Structure 1
Amino acid sequence: MFGGRKVAAYKAQHPRYPTPSAPFFSSYFLHIAASRDSLYTVLSAYTFTSSIMSATYQRLAQISKQVTPGKSGSSAILEKNPDDIVVTCALRTAITKGGKGGFKDTAAADLLVGAFKALIERSKIDPSLVEDIAVGSVLPPGGGATEFRAAALAAGFPETSAVKALNRQCSSGLQAIVDVANAIKAGVIDVGIGAGVESMSSQYGPGAVTEFSELLENHMEAANCKVPMGILSEDMAKDLKISRKDQDVFAASSYQKAIKAQEAGLFNEEIAPLTVKFVDPKTQEEKTITVNRDDGVRPGITPESLSKIRPAFAADGSIHAGNSSQISDGAAAVLLMKRSTAEKLGQKIIGKYVTASIVGVKPLLMGQGPWKAIPAALEKAGISKGDVDIYEINEAFASQALWCTKELGLPFEKVNPKGGAIAFGHPLGCTGSRQVSTLLTELKRTNKKIGVTSMCVGTGMGMAAVWVAE
């Protein structure tokens, strides 16, 4: 038979390689059949090859039964291994109202200095052991690279501690952490810090919008990257029929959860107090104040009170200041290393980084980012939605946060249990780092284990990460 001779010849010529798969032989024999007009030859050869593959699969199945399977799902990520990327400190400054709050006169780099100093003091880490620091930020002139390096030096890190700035819009703080985690995993560094910072008081406004070239403006999808977030959210709410009432109920809930958490002191552990200069807007007197609480959190917010606020982007719209994230200032930092390193250094482990995802969506559907990013991260981690105890999903707008929560089928009680950016603000580059401290402290307090942080990202992206508290 043609098939038998060819298989024997192939084995003789390629003794180190397995027999080609059935699809390989199928395509090869179809070519022969076309030239010899021999369907019988094709069928015979395919049958022969299939029998070989069937025997191989049966043997593999037998072998697999003899191998003890490893743990999977949540039990797998809860295991502790020397190479785990762990968090030994995660903290943030308070988040304050842009242009009005406690940090309105404080530069982004100075906020970063405060967060870095607090991290060194709280973790007791020797600054000389920190090999790299990644800082996520969206608005700083020059990208922030120069002033953030200076901030690290001013905070007490030696010249041997490298620093970089990065910008992936609202996920910048999380991207900074993931970059450091990946560098540790790859063996590039042993100890690093992922941080985020933003001073929207000083750097937010029309001047922050990039002017597009004629080439970009003339490309429809590229030009959509420039559409303001509020307009996108308004259009999304209309297209997906997300009512203003539902948005206001969601937003009011964020405020109510945040004020309850603040009054109970649930943010105290994650917030590092920072003493700064403050110019009194009434007297113009410069004072020294200590900022230790989120000043955007307000009591008495209800769906009824929010219903009285005028729409911001369309006369008949549903998006307004009360159901959107606040313009804010703040900084956050996360210290990472391998578990084996932490144990050698005597660092207390408070959590573990598991994995992350970054996805793209259409620029006009920017708000749907978490809807795609969260399932991708869960799949990478090998867990299901039900395995997660807490979801920290950034509330850029109530419309998109509400839609993502519903579409993913997440229980509302698991989402932002201490409120979110609608209640206490969204300093763009800071949020991704801030969420980690908020998540890990709440998981610890409630004796829960697995959490997810996620956010939509400007220009049409989404990011998510999976964490375990210890």
Structure 2
Amino acid sequence: MQRFAQRTYIASGLRTPFGRGGGALADHDAISLSVPLVQAMAAQARPDLFVWGTVIPSLGWSNIGREIWLDAKLDPTVPAYSAVLACSTSMIAALTAAGMLGGDTDLVLVGGSEVMSNPPIGLTLEASKRIVKLFRTDPAEAFDALKALTPNDLVLPVKGWANRITGRTMGDHMEETAQIWNITREAQDEWSLKSHQRAVAGWESGFFDDLVISLPEISRDANPRADTSIEKLAALKPAFDKSGKGSITAGNSSPITDGAAACWVATEAGLARLPNGTHYAELVDHEIAAVDHSVDGLLMAPSFAIPRLLARHGLRYDDVALWEIHEAFAAQLLANVAALEKPGWTRDRAGVDFDFGDFPWDRLNPNGGSVAIGHPFAATGARDLSQAIKELWNMSAGSFAIVSICADGGHGTVALLRRP
């Protein structure tokens, strides 16, 4: 089955180093952090369209894509718009761009950025209405009212970007899911250690050298820890559920991170405009799933999307040479794969009656994932896609890859790539 009318490709792009929250990149906002990256990408080729996203909103802009493009002093005749789908933001940018190829559009630059260090502070609706009304009638009194604001009038990110519907953080939700799926603290810490070891090894081997630009503040990812160990991870206290049952810690969760990432979406004609040696893969198909998070868990949609996507193409798990699964939490990755492996799950819950076989754990996130590298919300999709494409390029022609990202709100986006 071929989803697109013409062959569609994703080519690996560049990203900034990912900085720790409050660290080297904390003086930026999502626009200023993106500008040098977008300039570096545009130096490779002029896109026909630019699509960008950020998850944490700001009153300072409405179309961040256009703002970045113009701040970068690039060709103003290139259209630019914004996309957002929580942690899948730059992947959904790529997927929507793929659907817009054709006519005069052969090459699209997509990506996303997040400076989690600097979330904006807003006003509650009631406080905002009160202040705005005063500015219309009595500006002096409005300024006095601003001075008199209390914490109850402010919208603060003190709950770690909690889900608006439930009022609970992703970590709170994941604790519940981890307990339902019996994901142990030991298993989470073991996966976290692997993620750090693989990310550190990737940097030492030079794997990331042509994927990451250097910035004046930082030239290498700040989050991967070469000195971590099972003992150090085991010593950390639960960060969300402190009742004694909690298992999710700062060590087995993706950290607060600042960063930006980009990639290309292209037709064959668009690929020809990119520099020689650019890694690329065919975008064979994709699946976007949404679940009732009160039933299945906030971050479990990939376990629905993956089997539906593979079954359409008659692929078993071991037919996929590479699995790049976003690690919002080690428990989230482990729970989704546990669902894929559970007898009857894909049939009874995902609605796919197909024998997928055993899951190939040895093909999963070979150069580390978000637990170690970091997770600037809107940048993760492009980071995952570019990383997977480079990994896939070292495999034989025809090899498949799955790139999967969970997202707040009960969403999951999954892409099926093939090495030409």
Shorter-chain-normalised TM-score: which range? Answer: 0.7 to 0.9
| Residue of structure 1 in register with 2:386 after alignment | 437
| Residue of structure 1 in register with 2:302 after alignment | 370
Task: Give the Cα separation in 2 of the matches to 1:302 and 1:415.
Answer: 20
- 8 Å CA contact 2:107, 2:271 repeated in 1: no
- 8 Å CA contact 2:25, 2:258 repeated in 1: yes
- 8 Å CA contact 1:361, 1:369 repeated in 2: yes
Query: What's the CA shift string for 1:193-241, capped at 9, x where partnerless?
Result: 221111111127x869999xxxxxxxxxx97544211110111112222
Q: TM-score, normalised by structure 1?
A: 0.71
Q: Among 113, 117, 122, which residue is 2:39 paired with? A: 117
- 8 Å CA contact 1:134, 1:179 repeated in 2: no
Task: Give the Cα separation in 1 of the matches to 2:288 and 2:328.
Answer: 17
Secondary structure of 1:309's aligned partner: coil
CA 1:201–1:346 in 2, change beyond 3 Å: closer, same or farther?
closer
CA 1:144–1:430 in 2, change beyond 3 Å: closer, same or farther?
farther
| Residue of structure 2 in register with 1:392 after alignment | 324
Q: Which moved more, 1:325-334 or 1:408-417?
A: 408-417
- 8 Å CA contact 1:92, 1:437 repeated in 2: no
Q: Among 300, 310, 313, which residue is 2:240 paired with? A: 313
Task: Give the Cα separation in 2 of the matches to 1:198 and 1:468.
Answer: 29
- 8 Å CA contact 1:111, 1:330 repeated in 2: yes
Secondary structure of 2:377's aligned partner: coil
Matched, 1:267 2:267: no
Matched, 1:458 2:393: no
CA 1:120–1:244 in 2, change beyond 3 Å: closer, same or farther?
same
How far residue 133 of structure 1 moved from its aligned partner, in angstroms, is 1.3
| Higher normalized helix content (fraction of residues) | 1
CA 1:209–1:420 in 2, change beyond 3 Å: closer, same or farther?
farther
- 8 Å CA contact 1:145, 1:164 repeated in 2: no
How far residue 190 of structure 1 moved from its aligned partner, in angstroms, is 2.8
How far residue 382 of structure 1 moved from its aligned partner, in angstroms, is 4.8
CA 1:144–1:387 in 2, change beyond 3 Å: closer, same or farther?
farther
Task: Give the Cα separation in 1 of the matches to 2:292 and 2:58.
Answer: 28
Matched, 1:103 2:103: no
Secondary structure of 1:465's aligned partner: strand
Q: TM-score, normalised by structure 2?
A: 0.79
Task: Give the Cα separation in 2 of the matches to 1:430 and 1:133.
Answer: 15
Task: Give the Cα separation in 2 of the matches to 1:381 and 1:226.
Answer: 39
How far residue 304 of structure 1 moved from its aligned partner, in angstroms, is 2.0
Matched, 1:148 2:65: yes
Q: Which moved more, 1:379-388 or 1:353-362?
A: 379-388
Query: What's the CA shift string for 1:32-91, capped at 9, x where partnerless?
Result: xxxxxxxxxxxxxxxxxxxxxxxxxxxxxxxxxxxxxxxx7xxx89xxx99311234422
Q: Which runs of 5+ in 1 are unaligned?
A: 1-71, 212-221, 276-288
- 8 Å CA contact 2:279, 2:393 repeated in 1: no
| Residue of structure 1 in register with 2:145 after alignment | none
Matched, 1:302 2:229: yes
Q: Which runs of 5+ in 2 are unaligned?
A: 127-162, 342-358
Task: Give the Cα separation in 2 of the matches to 1:172 and 1:328.
Answer: 15
Q: Which amino acid aligns with 2:364?
A: V
| Residue of structure 2 in register with 1:37 after alignment | none
- Count how many residue pairs are aligned between Structure 1 and Structure 2: 361
Larger radius of gyration: 1
Matched, 1:419 2:419: no
Secondary structure of 1:141's aligned partner: coil
Q: Which amino acid aligns with 2:66?
A: R
CA 1:193–1:232 in 2, change beyond 3 Å: closer, same or farther?
same
- 8 Å CA contact 2:61, 2:67 repeated in 1: no
Task: Give the Cα separation in 2 of the matches to 1:306 and 1:210.
Answer: 41
Q: Among 199, 214, 217, which residue is 2:115 paired with? A: 199
Secondary structure of 1:456's aligned partner: strand
Secondary structure of 1:184's aligned partner: coil
- 8 Å CA contact 1:342, 1:349 repeated in 2: no
How far residue 191 of structure 1 moved from its aligned partner, in angstroms, is 2.4
Task: Give the Cα separation in 1 of the matches to 2:60 and 2:401.
Answer: 31
Secondary structure of 1:203's aligned partner: coil
Q: Among 328, 336, 349, which residue is 2:265 paired with? A: 336
For residues 17-36 of structure 1, the aligned pairs below 5 Å read none
CA 1:173–1:344 in 2, change beyond 3 Å: closer, same or farther?
closer
Task: Give the Cα separation in 2 of the matches to 1:345 and 1:115.
Answer: 16
Secondary structure of 1:169's aligned partner: coil
CA 1:323–1:408 in 2, change beyond 3 Å: closer, same or farther?
same
- 8 Å CA contact 1:96, 1:296 repeated in 2: yes
Query: What's the CA shift string for 1:334-384, capped at 9, x where partnerless?
Result: 122211343478875622222211111122401212111212222345533
Secondary structure of 1:355's aligned partner: strand
Task: Give the Cα separation in 2 of the matches to 1:144 and 1:242.
Answer: 41
Secondary structure of 1:201's aligned partner: coil
Secondary structure of 1:426's aligned partner: coil
Highest relative contact order (Cα 8 Å, sep 6+), 1 or 2? 2
- 8 Å CA contact 1:136, 1:166 repeated in 2: yes
Task: Give the Cα separation in 2 of the matches to 1:424 and 1:456.
Answer: 16
CA 1:271–1:378 in 2, change beyond 3 Å: closer, same or farther?
same
- 8 Å CA contact 2:48, 2:104 repeated in 1: no
| Residue of structure 1 in register with 2:190 after alignment | 249
| Residue of structure 1 in register with 2:290 after alignment | 360
Q: Among 81, 89, 112, which residue is 1:172 paired with? A: 89
